[in-house]
């Protein structure tokens, strides 16, 4: 990993940690003392337990809009429990989503979810074939689907 992508990863991790701490206090840590919330990665597959500073991440190019994206996963822990955090960032549109999954019950807590907005932007006139297909699917097209 080059230094530019490591910087992006660290920046994105800090942004998502801050957004999570603002919203998940009632589930994992008391809102009055959010400082007790800890965020960490995994231990890096070493035999001995040690530092948990490896943030799982994937860099890829989106098939929807062709933008470069990064997806990360890390852990948060507080006095009320712990959870997984899943987050994705797009180079062109910014924050795509931050989702928190409680480890106890599996409940998903959406912190930020811009996926539907990004999908609607991708479908809004940029691809005429896709717009025609959506129009036919929603019943507004002239495809003659059910007409005799």
Cα separation, 108 vs 110, whole angstroms: 6
What percentage of the chain exceeds 90 in pLDDT?
10
| Better-scored residue on pLDDT, 38 or 7 | 38
Over range 92-114, report the average pLDDT. Answer: 89
pLDDT band, very low/low/confident/very high, at 86 (cuts 50, 70, 90): very high
Helices (H) then strands (E): counts for the chain: 4, 6
Tell me which residue of 32, 55, 58 sits closest to 44, measured CA to CA: 55
Name the β-bridge partners of 5: none
Instruction: List pLDDT tens digits, range 12-24.
Output: 778 887 777 777 7
Domain 3-40+53-134: state its class: alpha beta
CA-based nearest residue to 16, from 69, 61, 102, 74: 74
Confidence of residue 71 (pLDDT cuts 50, 70, 90): very high
Q: Which of 6, 5, 9, 24 is nearest to 87 (CA)?
A: 9
Higher model confidence: residue 145 or residue 80? 80
pLDDT tens digit string along 28-38?
776 666 667 88
Q: Name the residue ranges covered by the structural domains of the chain.
A: 3-40+53-134
Nearest residue to 110 via CA among 129, 85, 91, 127: 85
């Amino acid at each position: 990993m080059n230094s530019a992508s490591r910087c992006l990863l660290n920046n994105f991790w800090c942004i998502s940690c801050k957004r999570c701490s603002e919203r998940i206090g009632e589930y994992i840590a008391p809102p009055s003392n959010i400082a007790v919330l800890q965020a960490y990665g995994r231990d890096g597959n070493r035999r001995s337990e040690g530092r948990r500073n490896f943030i799982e991440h994937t860099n890829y190019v989106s098939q929807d809009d062709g933008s470069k994206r990064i997806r990360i996963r890390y852990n948060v822990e507080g006095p009320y429990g712990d959870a997984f955090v899943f987050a994705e960032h797009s180079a062109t549109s910014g924050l795509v989503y931050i989702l928190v999954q409680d480890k106890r019950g599996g409940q998903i807590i959406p912190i930020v979810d811009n996926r539907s907005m990004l999908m609607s932007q991708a479908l809004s006139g940029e691809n005429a074939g896709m717009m025609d297909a959506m129009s036919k699917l929603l019943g507004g097209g002239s495809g003659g689907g059910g007409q005799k």
